[in-house]
Amino acid sequence: MHQKLLNWYNQNARILPWRVDVFEKTNPYHIMVSEFMLQQTTIATVIPYFNRFIEKFPTVNHLASSSVDDVLLLWQGLGYYRRAKNLHFASQQIINLDFFPKSYDELLQLKGVGDYTAAAIASIGFNQPVIPVDGNVKRVWSRFYGIDIDSKNIKLISQQFTLLMQGSEAFAFKISQALMELGATVCMPKVIMCNMCPLKKSCKAFENNTMSEFPKPKKLNKPKQFDLNLFLVTDSQKQKIMIKKNPEQGLFANMYFLPSNLDERVECLNKDEDCLLHQFKHILSHYHFNVSVYHSYSKDDHSCFNTDKEVYHWISLTDRKKYSFPKLIAKALDAL
């Protein structure tokens, strides 16, 4: 069965920036960067970010020696910014180790690397006999065995699919990618192309015509609604704006932001002169922001902000692209 899967993969695998040759093992650093970026993000979205990232930081050494602000600036717009911080920290861990970890257990010691990412780097980057279990692999397994997915059988998925490698351990990196590719392009959630599947003759769901029943959909929690008021605090000439550096923890950690109703300092703004510039919605997986953008002046020539210069900064509008803003802040700045 593994040979059918490999033959299918050799003929049908997509060429991706981190997988330029389906017949060769991939640069482990490229795999690490791509897997961090692909968490909660589609391949189509990731590709241009990956290309720019590798151009700026071509090796793990380049990444480790950079500042976290440089990394966040390049990550801007990709979202889930904690991934960028973790990736930067993990690169520094690798440099301190003086070698790139190869095994699943060693990779788990890196910041931001969980079960799936460790297995992906070990398998695809170093040809280790372990199966990375992502959503695509879970779906293939669920239909192949006709069993629904729960938290108790994640390890079972890896164990059972690892058996596919027996006799083909030299191609572990290809079998892992083949299973993911199968789920991404053939055994998809709603569009199921069984006629193209190399495993259909052994597939329980195909045998019983129950493909659409597996896996059962999960109930999703409703995202939290949040009213966010952003303040474009400018100088009298509207040549400079006030920005703030977010703390190292929390939503949009370490990124630059605008003064908002999240800050106590906005109490010093002259609310009588606030001018509504723009309103829009910004949607994240767990939050829906209703954003209002105001052009604001503060009392006493912004002295309330100037008392905390490590957090609040004046920047020229022409320099704003030098700072790592979340996408919703970039939208707000477009109102000027």
Q: 43-56 vs 68-75: helix axis angle to the nearest 10?
A: 140
When pLDDT is cut at 50, 70 and 90, the band that residue 180 belongs to is very high
pTM for the full model?
0.86
pLDDT recorded at residue 22 = 81
Mean pLDDT of the chain: 89
Q: What integer is the mean pLDDT of 60-65? A: 98
Asked whether 72 and 324 are in contact (CB, 8 A), the reply is yes
**Confidence category of residue 234, pLDDT binned at 50, 70, 90:** confident
Please give the positions annotated as active site. Answer: 35
What is the pLDDT confidence band of residue 25, given thresholds at 50, 70 and 90? confident
User: Residue 299 above 60 pLDDT?
Assistant: no
Q: Give, for 287, the enclosing helix (H) or strand (E).
A: strand 287-296
Residue type, 157: I
More confident residue, 21 or 27: 27
Residue 55 pLDDT > 80, yes or no?
A: yes
pLDDT at residue 272 tops 50: no
Percentage of the chain modeled with pLDDT above 70:
92
Q: Which residues pair with 283 in a beta bridge?
A: 288
Contact (Cβ atoms closer than 8 angstroms) between residue 257 and residue 243: yes
Q: Give the lowest-confidence range in 38-47, 48-57, 256-265, 296-305.
A: 296-305
pLDDT at 35: 97
Q: Please, which contacts does 140-144 make with residues 24 or more away whose CB atoms are closer than 8 Å?
A: 140/179, 140/182, 140/183, 140/187, 140/199, 142/205, 142/214, 142/215, 143/187, 143/203, 143/204, 143/205, 143/206, 143/211, 143/214, 143/215, 144/199, 144/202, 144/203, 144/204, 144/205
Of 152 and 260, more confident: 260
Q: Which domains does the chain have, with CATH numbers?
A: 2-213 (1.10.340.30), 224-333 (3.90.79.10)
